[in-house]
Amino acid sequence: MKKSLVQLICMAAAVLCVSESFAQTSVKYLINGKADASFNGKKIYLIVLSDGRALKDSAVVTDGAFKMTGTTDGKDVAYIRTADKAKSATVVLEGTPVSLDISNENVATVGGKLNERLNEYLQASNRIMKKADALHYDDLMKEYSNPNVTAERKEAIVKLITDSLQTPSEELAKKTLYANLDNVFGAYIFSREYQAEDDEALQIFSKAGKEFLSYKPVVKMKERMDLVVATGKGKHFVDFEQTDPDGKMHKLSDYAGKGNYVLVDFWAAWCGPCRAEMPNNVALYEKYHSKGFEILGVSLDKSKEAWINAIAKLGMKWPQISDLQYWKNAASNSYGVNSIPATVLIGPDGTIIARGLRGEALAAKLAEIYK
């Protein structure tokens, strides 16, 4: 789904209006659980998802039962699991006492409106998985990996898996998300179960309620979107500086805003899709570089050796810089990049023309520019 620049700016402004620092209200939890007798004397753990799977609480199983009480900084979603991770359950900590039997194959958490919605979501997801299992997913993947399998058969396998598993799962997550834009369960779905494009994410931020927007992972997603908007189409490029393979410092402004078109290409040697994209970039560079087109590669590598080797092997003759900080790369973070390959096309005056152009779309854009 594509939106005009005006629409995106309006949605971004709406997000700014509703995304003030929300004060978290302490929420009490009481969990009464049952477990198989084989777990007697063993610990059960409560893992809070908003804090990066932080250990929040634990309890010892006694006579097939355990109990946990405490508080969280706002409503949250958590995992309850055994020490050996053999048994687990998801639970919404919404201030209502809950009970569950972790011994069951499909655990249902009893207590609270949001846990009812969680149960419905998990049950629907399990139904999708059972249908996919009936297709013998593992066998299909082995067949797909067989070098003797024809391209037509591989395409059929991809379509079968997409139609039976990926598409139904995405539709379920989307339906659940939009029905819960006012609560922490919806925020959990948004941050872990549903992959929204940037323009859709902006719409979600503008429509979501306080509880949704105050969920810590969503706060981080919002911070990234602020950067995406600030470095979007029509904005002046944000400068950064990193070193080339020889240790010399280079700024984006050494290339951008100097009268030519510059493509900033965020990539890494370990990124398969990035490597697959390079032949196209090499061809476009050879075709248009003499006309003023430049590429600045920004690597999210950790290993300098792997970075240098990939530059040579892939035939990248354009400038390359990196801070070798992997996903903490300062340049990519300043543009809100959370997946690669990613590109930013900058016009002669330093204005950002487009983000995310690759393959045929990039070729078409450059053909339009240099016609």
281-298: per-residue pLDDT in tens? Answer: 999 999 999 999 999 999
Q: What is the pLDDT of residues 225-244, one digit of tens each?
A: 999 999 999 999 999 999 99
pLDDT of residue 1: 35
Kindly state the percentage of the chain with pLDDT values over 70. Answer: 94
State the Cα–Cα distance between residues 300 and 135, nearest whole angstrom: 38
With beta carbons less than 8 A apart as the criterion, state whether 221 and 186 touch: no
State the pairing for strand pair 241-243/249-251: antiparallel
pLDDT of residue 191: 93
State the Cα–Cα distance between residues 346 and 263, nearest whole angstrom: 6
Residues of the chain with pLDDT under 50: 1-22
pLDDT of residue 24: 59
Q: What is the pLDDT of residues 194-220, one digit of tens each?
A: 988 888 999 999 999 999 999 999 999
State the Cα–Cα distance between residues 20 and 268, nearest whole angstrom: 35
Burial of 328 (0-12, 13-18, 19+ CB in 10 A): exposed
CA angle at 292 for the pair 287 and 295, rounded to the nearest 5°: 75
State the Cα–Cα distance between residues 371 and 369, nearest whole angstrom: 6
Coil, strand or helix: which one is 93?
strand
Q: For the whole model, what pTM was predicted?
A: 0.76
State the Cα–Cα distance between residues 145 and 253, nearest whole angstrom: 45
